[in-house]
A and B are shown apart, each in its own frame.
Chain A
Amino acid sequence: MNRTIVALLGAALTALAFPAAAHHSFAVWDMTQNIEFKGVVETLKFRNPHMAMTLTTTKPDGTKETINFTEGAPANMLVRMGLDPAVIAPGQEITVIGAPRKDDPNEYFIKSIVLKDGTKFQSIGP
């Protein structure tokens, strides 16, 4: 299965009226970037108003690195897209496309989650 499920977060961001409302500003993130990380989920906070996770990746030299995704789409939005949090539970191997914080490149926003079977849950971006 290779399919992409796109959320309305992008629309919500540009509409961000709910600036007023739902979410805080996304201006802290460099959304022009799409950095791909493949690894194993270490921790998961599948929550509102934003999910968060850490991912353990293996660098070319074999050493491990923890990538800190401090923010992503609201859990409810991902559920509505059909994402079962069990498939991204700790221990699961996934790919995450992230955008770094402008003022802290060690923190990332989750733009997309790609499962091993190719299913892509895309909250914003390409």
Chain B
Amino acid sequence: MAIGFWRLSAVTLAIGLPGFALAQAARPTQGSHPDFSGIYFPAVGPGMRSQTPAQLPYNDAAKKLVADYQKSFTLDDDPGRYCIWPGMPRAVWGAPFSVEIQQRPQDLSIYWEGYGMYRKIYMADHNPPKQLVPSAMGHSVARWEGDTLVVETDKLKPYPYMTRMATSSAAHVVERLHLEQHADAKGQPAKYLVDELVLTDPKVYTEPVKIKATLQLRPDLSLIEYTCTDTLWDDYLTQRGLTLPDLDELPSGAKE
């Protein structure tokens, strides 16, 4: 993978957030295109924290499903407890874990520490493979519009958790990603990957849902292995009345 370098543009723009200095478009490049490769962490600070919209534009049928869901499901009945991937578009914002992006001319690979999620974005001009089976991350194909990467995602499997920004298999996500450089909340120079996302799902929502997610480049961080299913396995063993051996109790250097 060719690693780009940060080449600061002369283009500057002011952002109207308190405590922030003039912003600069940051343009690390890979060939003629920006390079998004790096390790990121969800940005914090005024205007940068991404949130699910407080009011989602459910259609009438979906509103009824939300009401029914809330009658039947408790707060503990949550897919997160069972390590279900949030998938697209929910994976894009919010989780307080590192995200690694590796960019090649033909594709981008994104690894989320949280839930060990993985996503592939194929470049449209490099003969992307087809996807037959719907998945949590869906099928993403991208193109460049100047320094902005435009990604379209479909083939998403339903996410029927009505209090968790549910989506049907009709969901379609368009993202516009670009790099920025400006001061962080402490006034220090920082680099960001901004993802402006629009979700349309005519089976669930009456209008597009727009979300802006910002990741801060954090080369000082790494990804930590995130295993999530140990508790589920333990619960199963308990139900079966089984106990695994504790290998650490064995003495070191035991002879035959």
Contacts and interface: CB of A to CB of B under 8 A. Distances in A.
A38 interface: no
Contacts of A79: 224
Given A20-B86, A22-B86, A12 B76 contact: no
B35 interface: no
12 contacts: A8-B42, A8-B96, A15-B49, A18-B90, A20-B52, A20-B165, A21-B93, A22-B86, A23-B80, A24-B76, A28-B76, A76-B113
A49 B81 contact: yes
Given A19-B52, A25-B75, A8 B81 contact: no
Interface string B65-96: 00000000001101111010010001101111
Nearest to B234: A45
Interface in A1-50: 7-9, 11-12, 14-25, 27-28, 45, 47-49
Contacts of A22: 80, 86, 94-97, 114-115
Contacts of A23: 78, 80
Contact of B224 (A19, A25, A80): A80
Interface residues of B, number: 35
A76 B224 contact: yes
A17 B114 contact: no
Nearest to A28: B75
B64 interface: no
A77 interface: yes
Interface in B13-66: 42, 44, 49-52
A47 B230 CA distance: 8
B113 A17 contact: no
Given A15-B51, A23-B80, A24-B80, A48 B90 contact: no
Interface residues of A, number: 28
A19 B91 CA distance: 10
A11 B44 contact: yes
Interface of B: 42, 44, 49-52, 75-76, 78-81, 83, 86, 90-91, 93-97, 113-115, 163-165, 221, 224, 226-228, 230-231, 234
Contact of B94 (A20, A28, A47, A80): A20
A45 B90 CA distance: 27
A20 B90 contact: yes
- Please provide the 5 A-B residue pairs with the shortest distance between their CB atoms, ordered closest to farther: A24-B78, A21-B86, A17-B94, A18-B94, A20-B90
A76 B224 CA distance: 7
Contacts of B50: 15, 17
Q: Which of B75, B78, B96 has the most CB of A within 10 A?
A: B96
Contacts of A18: 86, 90, 93-96, 114
Nearest to A13: B96
A19 B221 CA distance: 24
